[in-house]
Amino acid sequence: MEQTVTEVLTAATDSVTLINAVNGGSHDVTGMTQAKINEMVQRNVDHLELILEYTEPNVAGDSSDKSSYTDAIATGKAYIAAN
C-alpha cells in the first residue's frame, strides 16, 4: 500500500521535532560529542530535504503547507554552522 502525502509528511515530523529540540536544548545529548550531535542533525536535515523532493507520492508538487519542514531544515543548517 502506497503512502499518501499526508502520511509521508506526518512521519517526517519526527525529524522536525528532533532538530528543533536539539536547537532548543531540550533533546538529551548526554554522552554525545558535538560532532555526533551535528551528524545526527545533518541526517535529519538530509531526510527532510529528500522527503520534500518525493514525487511518489507527489510531496514536491503538493500544495500543503511545508513551512515547518523548510524551517527545520534552515534551523538544522544554522545549528550545524554555529556548532
Segment-wise mean pLDDT, segments of 10 residues, the chain, 83 residues: 91 97 96 98 98 96 96 98 97
Q: Determine the pLDDT at residue 2.
A: 85
Cβ pair 26, 79 in contact under 8 A: no
Question: Which residues does 67 contact at the CB level (< 8 Å), separation at least 6?
Answer: none
Cβ pair 44, 20 in contact under 8 A: no
Task: Pull the grid cell for residue 83.
Answer: 556548532
Neighbours of 48 (CB within 10 A): 23
Q: Which of 20, 24, 40 is nearest to 32 (CA)?
A: 40
